[in-house]
Chains A and B, each alone.
Chain A
Amino acid sequence: MTAILSAEGLSKTFRTPFSRREVRALDGLDLQVASGEVFGLLGPNGAGKTTTVKILLGLTHPTAGVARLFGLPASDPESRRRVGYLPEGHRFPGYLTARQTLSIFGRMSGVAPAELKSRIPELLARVRISDWADMKVKKFSKGMTQRLGLAAALVHRPDLLLLDEPTDGVDPVGRREIRDLLREEAARGTAILLNSHLLSEIEMTCDRVAVLRKGRLVATGRIADLTAQGFTYRFAGTGVDEALLGAFRESGAGAERVNGHVKLTARDAEHLNALVDTARARGVLVTELTPVRSTLEDVFVDLVNAGEAAEAGGTDDALRPEGSPG
Chain B
Amino acid sequence: MRTLFANVEEVFREAAARFTLVAYAALSSVFIGLFAIAVNLDIVDGALAGAKLFGKELQMGPRSVDLNKLVLGFESGFSGFLYVVATFLAVFATAHLVPRLQEKGTIDLYLSRPVGRVKLLLSRYAGGLLLAGLNVAYLIGTMGFLVWWKTGVVHPRFFLGGAIIFFTIATLMAFAFLVGVLTSSTAVSIMATFAVFFLAAILSGHRQIEAALTAEWAAALVRGLYWALPKTGQLAQVTVDFVSYGQLSRHTHEIDRLAVFGSTGAFGLVSLALSAFLFRRKDF
| Interface residue ranges, A against B (CB under 8 Å) | 14, 54, 57-61, 77-81, 83, 85, 87-93, 95-96, 100, 103-105, 107-110, 112-113, 152, 162
The residues of B that contact A103 with a CB separation of less than 8 Å are 6
Q: For residue B110, which residue of chain A has the nearest CB?
A: A108
> Are A90 and B284 touching (Cβ within 8 A)?
no
Cβ contact of B2, chosen from A54, A85, A107, A162, cutoff 8 A: A107
- Are B17's CB and A95's CB within 8 A? yes
Of the candidates B6, B17, B106, B284, the one whose C-beta lies within 8 Å of that of A108 is B6
Which 6 A/B pairs are nearest by Cβ-Cβ distance? Answer: A95-B17, A85-B112, A91-B105, A87-B108, A107-B6, A81-B114
**Are A59 and B115 interface neighbours, CB within 8 A?**
no
Q: Which of the segments B8-16, B24-32, B227-235, B269-277 contacts the partner chain?
A: B8-16
Chain B, residues 97-121, CB within 8 Å of chain A (1/0): the string is 0000001111111111111110000
- Tell me whether B283 and A83 are in contact (CB under 8 A): no
Of all chain A residues, the one with the shortest Cβ separation from B2 is A107
Closest A residue, CB atoms, query B108: A87
CB pairs A–B below 8 angstroms (13 shown) = A60-B284, A61-B283, A81-B114, A89-B104, A91-B104, A95-B13, A95-B17, A105-B109, A107-B5, A108-B6, A108-B7, A108-B115, A152-B109
Q: How close is A153's CB to chain B, nearest CB, in angstroms?
A: 8
Interface residues of B in 102-160 (CB under 8 A from A): 103-117
Interface-central residue, B3, B105, B108, by most chain A CB under 10 Å: B108
Q: How far is the CA of A89 from the CA of B281 in the complex (A)?
A: 23
User: How many residues from B make CB contacts under 8 Å with A?
Assistant: 29
Residues of chain B at the chain A interface (Cβ within 8 Å): 2-3, 5-7, 9-10, 13-14, 16-17, 103-117, 281, 283-284
| Cα(A240)–Cα(B283), bound, Å | 64
B10 touches A59 (CB 8 A): no
The answer to whether B3 touches A107 (Cβ under 8 A) is yes
Give Cα A57–Cα B106 distance, bound, in whole angstroms.
Answer: 14
A103 to B283, CA, bound (A): 27
B16 CB to nearest chain A CB (Å): 8
Q: Are B105 and A100 in contact (CB under 8 A)?
A: no
Contact A104 B10 (CB under 8 A): yes
Docked Cα-Cα span, A88 to B108, in Å, equals 9
A92 contacts across to B, CB distance below 8 A: 106, 109
Q: What residues of A have a CB within 8 angstroms of the CB of B5 in the complex?
A: 107
Q: Find out whether the CB atom of B13 lies under 8 angstroms from the CB atom of A100.
A: yes
Q: Which residue of B lies closest to A96 (CB)?
A: B13
A85 to B103, CA, bound (A): 17
Bound Cα distance A105, B10 (Å): 10
Q: Are B114 and A59 in contact (CB under 8 A)?
A: no
**Cβ distance A307 to chain B, nearest Cβ, rounded Å:** 26
